Amino acid sequence: MDDFDKRQTSMKSVLTCGICKKLCKDVTIIEECCHRFCKNCIMRKVREEKLKVCPECNTDLGVAPWQKIRYILQF
């Protein structure tokens, strides 16, 4: 594997949604732990499942999880 392939693999892992496991669409992070998700995936989890922890590491999002989620990048 050459350097380009290594960088590409690394970038894919950084931009993979922790919920759907695809490349993130509208990258959104949880401030406390910096895990990344598609905006729609994490918002749906918070809204429909009343999510109170990060789906990746179980970091507590407190009583106002909406305030801990930040939209950072649009593709």
Domain extents for the chain?
3-73
How high does pLDDT run on average in the chain? 81
Is residue 15 scored above 60 in pLDDT? yes
Does the global pTM surpass 0.85?
A: no
* pLDDT score recorded for residue 18: 92
Is residue 74 scored above 90 in pLDDT? no
In angstroms, what CA-CA distances link 48 with 13, 30, 41, 42, 43?
26, 17, 11, 10, 8
* pLDDT score recorded for residue 75: 46
More reliable by pLDDT, 63 or 56:
56
Q: Can you tell me the mean pLDDT for 20-45?
A: 91
- Strand order in 69-73's β-sheet? 36-38, 27-30, 69-73
Q: Residue 69: helix, strand or coil by DSSP? A: strand
Selected from 3.30.40.10, 3.30.990.10, 1.20.58.1290, 3.40.190.10, the CATH number assigned to the domain covering 3-73 reads: 3.30.40.10
